[in-house]
Amino acid sequence: MSAHIDSFLDYLRLERAYSPRTVQSYGMDLNEFEAYLRRTDAELTLETVDADNVRNWTMEMMEAGQKETSVNRRLSALRSFYRYLLRKGVIKVSPMQTVKGPKKKKPLPMFLREEEMNRLLDETDFGEGFEGERDRLIIEMFYETGMRRAELVGLNEADVDFYRGQIKVTGKRNKQRLIPFGEELGSALRLYMEEKAQEVPETEDGALFVQKSGRRVTDAWVYTMVRRNLSRVTTIKKRSPHVLRHTFATTMLNHDAELEAVKELLGHESVSTTEIYTHTTFEELKNAYSKAHPRARK
């Protein structure tokens, strides 16, 4: 082990009061980097490396299958080490100055398949009367409009325009957008509102979705209701209203909707946010290919 590494670890232990486990972890990371230098160029030392040497080490770790979190942890140890050497005057410029770690891959959004949604909406018994109509409608609303949970909770009856077939939604930063709806959702909305008028004569602030007391439904209640009902048709780990938003976007793209149109319907600021769903649909294509093509399984 390099004398500089020993000195740095003593500094962490004695002056920074790092735990023995943390100090050991730093030591292992720095020793691995030093071993890499010896393996690739015998003339390289910890004091003479440059940013390219660090980037090459990063590439080697990634190619070996190490996770982004592990690689970034090792690079963090290097940054601390070279800040220490800078303060000590051992080096004049840190090789870490222009080095960026690998970005952590975002998991693809979870969604329900069309047959699962059809089974839920067409074959599931939500119960009779106002409450059954409400619960089914909320799930259908998420699936057919892609709106966020807070947007649905904030809907008022006045936001529904049956003549134009559209709903006015108030999204993030009070930005409003119009979402069209089809005949099936329109019929479900009319039926629910008729049931509601009979069962709940007075509602809070003209709220569209309410409890029997007339009070507007809450975020927590909507989450619990959706999770309970999604559990009837799927075993995916996440079963939230946001999964139905993902399902809406994925279904639209699978049926050839333009990415820009889906962006507008979802209320995204940038199309780059919406592009994650193209990865989802591509994964669907890959799965379909691997199952259907006779040579794909070889």
- Which of these is catalytic: 55, 73, 215, 268? 268
148 is catalytic: yes
CA angle 65, 69, 73 (to 5 degrees): 110
239 is catalytic: no
User: What is the spatial distance between Cα 138 and Cα 209, in angstroms, rounded to a whole number?
Assistant: 8
Helix (H) or strand (E) holding 243: helix 241-254
- Which of these is catalytic: 73, 79, 113, 242? 242
277 is catalytic: yes
242 is catalytic: yes
- Which of these is catalytic: 216, 245, 246, 263? 245
172 is catalytic: yes
245 is catalytic: yes
Q: How many CA atoms lie within 13 A of 165 on its CB side?
A: 9
- Which of these is catalytic: 172, 212, 228, 232? 172
247 and 117 Cβ atoms separated by less than 8 Å: yes
User: What is the spatial distance between Cα 190 and Cα 164, in angstroms, rounded to a whole number?
Assistant: 14
- Which of these is catalytic: 4, 134, 148, 239? 148
User: What is the spatial distance between Cα 66 and Cα 61, in angstroms, rounded to a whole number?
Assistant: 6
- Which of these is catalytic: 36, 82, 84, 277? 277
20 and 6 Cβ atoms separated by less than 8 Å: no
- Residues marked active site are found at 148, 172, 242, 245, 268, 277
